[in-house]
Amino acid sequence: MLLKPATDVRLRAYAPYSRFKVGAAIRATSGAIHVGCNVENVAYPEGTCAEAGAIAAMIAAGDTAIAEILVIADSPAPVPPCGGCRQKIAEFAAPDVKVTLCTTDGAQKTMTVAELLPGVFTAAHMAKA
Ligand code: THU
């Protein structure tokens, strides 16, 4: 269900510096699908990941909860979200939400948010603030 939208949006990635195009698709708990791709910048740290784009699209569309997410890239092994994106995903996904990592060759690996980000920083850690 998420493979095609993620595959399609990946082709629109702007990645002239790394040449590594990434696509991400989120199914929100509403059922709506939101997509994003990486958008690089000549000032390298200003680039954004595909997952961040998909999350921004989800929020802009009025959804706030991720039911499922899939990420795809032309990588030798199913592409894992970077550390920052794991924290971004965890903001909007329950620990048992499935994250499917894909290659454009058809390899897939499904993990949960909790498996991807053990020891996640949460609002509870700020309880004394
Ligand atoms: N990238 C993503 O968009 N998502 C990931 O999960 C891994 C990395 C992007 C960032 C950068 O544009 C390129 O891939 C190389 O790091």
- Render pLDDT for 32-53 as a digit per residue (tens, 0 to 9): 999 999 999 999 999 999 999 9
The full length of the chain comes to: 129
Contact 31, 17 (CB under 8 A): no
Place of tokens 């939101």: 34
Q: Ligand 1 within 6 A of 23 CB?
A: no
- Contacts of 121 by beta carbon, 8 Å cutoff, 6+ apart: 87
CATH number of the domain bearing residue 13? 3.40.140.10
Measure the CA–CA gap between 12 and 28, rounded to whole angstroms.
Answer: 22
Place of tokens 């329950």: 94
Q: In angstroms, what CA-CA distances link 126 with 11, 99, 117, 121?
A: 40, 27, 18, 9
What's the gap in Å between 65 CA and the centre of ligand 1?
A: 22
Residue nearest to atom 14 of ligand 1 (CA): 20
Q: Ligand 1 within 6 A of 13 CB?
A: no
pLDDT at 10 over 90: yes
**Which domain covers residue 82, as residue numbers?**
3-126
Specify the ligand 1 atom closest to the Cα of 53: 3
Q: Ligand 1 within 6 A of 99 CB?
A: no
pLDDT value of residue 60: 98
pTM for this entry? 0.96
Structural domain count of the chain: 1
Percent of the chain with pLDDT over 70: 100
